[in-house]
Amino acid sequence: MDQYISACEARKVIENHIFPTGKITVSLLEAQGFYTAEPIWATLDVPSFDNSAMDGYGFLFEDLTHFTKLKVTQVIPAGISGKNPVLGRGEAVRIFTGAKIPEGVDTVVMQEKVVRNGDCIHFNFDEVKKGENIRLKASQTRAGTVITERSTFINHALIGFLAGFGIEEVTVHQRLKIGLVFTGNELVEIGKPLSDGEIYNSNRYTLQAALAEVNHRLSFIKHAEDTEEATFSAIKEAFENTDVLLITGGISVGDYDYVKPALEKSGVAELFYRIRQKPGKPLFFGKLNDKFVFALPGNPASVFSCYHQYVKPFLLGCFGRKNFDEDQDLAVSASYARKKNNEQTQFLKAFYSGGKVQILTGQESYKMNSVAQANCLVEFPENATEINIGEKVKIWRI
């Protein structure tokens, strides 16, 4: 293949190779950060009985045409089991929020509107409407209906919602086993002193932290020396332990770039190699049987951009997310930008707020200061050479 494709074409190739991970059943709290693998049905009516929406007094609305005041005959707090006694004509109950509505009551007046003298209450009848302040049985959800669709992201709000049905376990998509092979003899781990010509390995930490944000972790990490044998050996070992392999560095065409030959030697089928984009032109996507590999450039900003544009949507698609372009949005540019090459798509680090996006300085692929400030990427598309202030642009939230 060995030919450039567009960013749009690359996304489509990746989207077409998304595969669903297996299913596992986990406890409700353990499900946070996962996607549902099956629909979830309501196990009961919610509310499961008519109950009061207020602290107040319950009565039969029709009695207001026959009585000038009502007599309080009983008190009904929330959580009392058993059948409540039937209310007589001209009678009212003192009732509290969440308490079951007894027979003979169809309206509740809030306590703030009531004047009570001994056992009797009176209030402005004209201010009360029939049926008010009562939560009717199944007014939220009827038992047996679908309450959560498949491929729904599980956050704390959904967990609280499901807990209201007494649901203890949820079937979700499994995490992917993700491996990382990073190349570059110049890379040194944090905590060790640097010698001349060495740099700290920021890509590993960028990717580990990015994966943690989408509820994943690296199950395999290997630093491959810049030799073809070491690179091949690391890739071979990684494929034995992962579903998706990420590689940083060594994918270009320099004298010490051994990743592509090692992938070919490993039997990886190339799905594409090299995109008409900046940063991250030498990006490789391939497949070995039922396993996939992304070989990313080594420059930190390129790794960052390629992860958000291609790797993250693929991983989340396999993990259960439905929309490949879910992170895409539109904003009004607060900056002017220009590029010479209209055949490339550029992804510019930017900061989005209040509907407007500010393109940051320091866009070079080795600069990380703009990465640290960015909360989105502005897509500067092919066949465009300028972005003008006030122009609507496509952004990708990160």
DSSP per residue, 369-398: HHHHH-SEEEEE-TT--EE-TT-EEEEEE-
Question: What is the arithmetic mean of pLDDT over 361-379?
Answer: 93
Q: Could you tell me the residue ranges of all domains in the chain?
A: 7-21+176-319, 23-46+141-173, 51-135, 328-397
Strand partners, 337: 387
- Structure pTM? 0.91
Give whole-number Cα distances, 263 to 140, 206, 232, 233, in Å: 55, 23, 7, 10
Sheet (strand 291-296) strand order: 218-224, 178-183, 244-248, 291-296, 284-288, 269-273
82 has pLDDT over 70: no
DSSP one-letter code for 310: I
pLDDT of residue 1: 46
What CATH class has 7-21+176-319?
alpha beta
The secondary structure of residue 290, as a DSSP letter, is T
- pLDDT for 157 beyond 50: yes
Give the integer Cα–Cα distance in Å for 321 and 266.
30
How much is the average pLDDT of 347-355? 97
Q: Is the Cα dihedral 188, 191, 192, 193 positive or negative?
A: positive
pLDDT of residue 254: 82
Separation of alpha carbons 328 and 8, rounded Å? 13
Evaluate whether 187 touches 5 at the Cβ level (below 8 Å): no
CATH superfamily, domain at 23-46+141-173: Molybdopterin biosynthesis moea protein, domain 2 (3.90.105.10)
User: 380 is written with which tokens?
Assistant: 């500067």
CATH superfamily for 51-135 is Molybdopterin biosynthesis moea protein, domain 3. (2.170.190.11)
pLDDT at 346 over 50: yes
How far is Cα 218 from Cα 211, in angstroms, rounded to an integer? 8
Which distant-in-sequence residues (6+ apart) come within 8 Å of 312 by Cβ?
A: 210, 214, 327
pLDDT at 293 (0 to 100) = 98
Q: Average the pLDDT over 331-339 and give the result.
A: 96
Q: How many residues does the chain have?
A: 398
**Which amino acid, residue 16?**
N
pLDDT surpasses 80 at 262 = yes
**Which 8-state DSSP code applies to residue 235?**
H
* Residue type for position 4: Y
| Separation between Cα atoms, residue 366 and residue 278, nearest integer Å | 12
Architecture of domain 328-397: Beta Barrel (2.40)
> Residue 367: which of 283, 299, 307 has the closest Cα?
299
Cβ contacts of 335 within 8 Å, gap of 6 or more: 350, 357, 358, 359, 387, 389
Give the C-alpha separation, 10 to 314, whole Å.
11
